[in-house]
Amino acid sequence: MSVAGKRILLGVTGSISAYKSALLVRLLVKAGAEVQVVMTDSAQQFITPLTLATLSKRPVLSAFVNTQSDRPGDGSWNNHVDLGLWADALVIAPASAHIIARCATGLCNDLLSAIYLSARCPVFFAPAMDVDMYHHRTTVDNLRRLESFGNHIIEAEYGELASGLIGEGRLAEPELILAKLNAFWAVPSAPSGLSGKRVLITAGPTQEPIDPVRYISNHSTGKMGYAIANAFAKAGAIVTLVSGPTSLPLPDPSIQRVDVRSAQEMFEATQMAFADADIVVLSAAVADYTPAHPADQKIKKKETFFSLELTKTTDIAATLGTRKQPGQLMMGFALETDNERENALKKLYAKNLDWIVLNSLRDLGAGFGHDTNKITVIDKDEQIHEFALKSKDEVAQDLVSLVKKSL
């Protein structure tokens, strides 16, 4: 199953990213969906109803009562109840902070919010706003409230925003929104031992700020962690991916990605999701040290020698290991250059892990940046599982197989 043959109500609200709604309408129609666009008044300041009507092949609705320009010769009204019953899904994209607040609190002063309150179908919100608005406690609480009602949130993405700031708040790309809808109606595959299991995965590097333009980081690309997330998702697990900065696309639309930058942010995000996780895979390359006093302004080049005071970051694996509950499984990674197995075993026990995945930088084609990897896995019983050089997708499948066997 997919969006083909589905009736989609697309709500468009006031946001600069409303231009993406045209692309979304085109994708939905091309995929075989019937699309009825409903616009708020403010949305029409960013994109014209004519554009969306042409693409959807339906008049755009915006008011309770049709005017002559809406439907020539038709003096009827737009029945929000009938529209709510007609739809197989209501998708609000972009969803401004204003519409999110109205829907979360039950305010109903326009056609779109009236349809939302009348809808019996699944509802998807795709937020779009500036980074500070998106992270404001009010917006966060409103999104959680909407989610608690059974609505689906398509998280905003990280990137450059219209304000010039960089952060979370960009509307999810139309292709991702379509993929989320397709995944919602997808026929579930045969259950596996991982179906319904909650898996928490960390991936990518962290960036530790020195000043507003410089940071300490490492060569991790996140490829291994993203491959692992994809493998668990394909096996039926519910995956949360806490990702450091990377250019990689989300490998599976069902994965919930949480974007972070620093080691502290990664610790906080991982800590929040840890209690609900059945399986935890810590594959991120987290900085061991961070500048003790990041500068507020760009540091000017003056002295011949420059000293930087560093302080230890929180050891995520060790901290979570002390909080591990019976039944939880944890897998850590160790990238070593010498005394590989000895150092990996120390980490296995010191951090209360069930497996340690050992990478050696002395193995060609393994480690950061490659599409391949060569791993040795040591479990808590000190059994050693050695694998040949493989693609990272194949390595991820090997790791998932080890977890399945333990279950």
The set of catalytic residues is 218
Name every residue whose Cβ is closer than 8 Å to that of residue 300 and which is 6 or more positions away in sequence: none
User: Where are the extended beta strands (E) located within 84-223?
Assistant: 89-95, 123-127, 152-153, 157-160, 166-170, 198-203, 208-211, 214-216
On whether 351 is known to bind a ligand per the annotation, the reply is yes
Tokens (6 digits) for 20: 């993406």
Tokens (6 digits) for 321: 């290991």
On whether 374 is known to bind a ligand per the annotation, the reply is no
| Spatial separation of the C-alpha atoms in residues 24 and 155, rounded to whole Å | 16
**Backbone phi and psi for residue 24, each to the nearest 5 degrees, phi listed first:** -65, -45
Pair 52, 19: CB distance under 8 Å: no
Q: Between helices 111-118 and 97-105, what is the axis angle to 10°?
A: 40
| Spatial separation of the C-alpha atoms in residues 333 and 348, rounded to whole Å | 9
On whether 306 is known to bind a ligand per the annotation, the reply is no
DSSP 350-391: HTT-SEEEEEETTSTT-STT-SEE--EEEETT--EEE--SEE
| Amino acid (1-letter code) at residue 332 | G
Q: How far is CA 316 from the centre of its chain?
A: 20
DSSP 5-32: T-EEEEEE-SSGGGHHHHHHHHHHHHTT
- The total of other beta-carbon atoms located within 10 Å of residue 276's CB is 10
Half-sphere exposure of 399 (CA within 13 A, CB side): 38
For the annotated binding site for CTP, the residues are 288, 298, 333, 347, 351
For the annotated binding site, the residues are 288, 298, 333, 347, 351
